[in-house]
Amino acid sequence: MGSQLLTALGALLIGGSVFPSFAVTENSSLLQGFTLQPGYTEIAQNLANALIEERPEVVLIDVRTPAEYRSGHISGALNIPLETLREHELLTAVPDVSTPIIVYCRSGRRSTDAGQLLVKNGYQYVMNAGGVITWQYGLTAGNEP
């Protein structure tokens, strides 16, 4: 009886009917049918990565401190710390409020605050990608985006 149970469990695990596939999804598949949602939204990091790679109009903003940014950031990200956003610095860096923006931080807490602040200040499409502690697509060290 025990061996039959193990055989059945093995068949389920190998057949993939118990666990979802962890296969990599192509960016084009992720973005097929994707439309920007007005206001603040939280998005999965694989979707954020696809947007960063495939949609050049998207502005990526790291809202951590400059020291955190230097230690490792997503390539192409501007470093505008949350405290600076509170002082309306983004208005000069990204003057067009219809520009799609992705924000992130270390864990997702500061990027949530930043995203909500940006929408409150008139930005129309703000997406929160969470934190770099779970980012699986590589980081760049240094001061350059």
Q: Which residues are part of the catalytic machinery? A: 105
Residues 7, 43: Cα–Cα separation, whole Å: 39
Print burial letters for 28-64: b (CB count within 10 Å at least 16), e (below 16): eebeeeeebeeebeebebebbbbbbeeeeebbbbbbb
Which one, of 59, 62, 50, lies nearest residue 98 by Cα?
A: 59
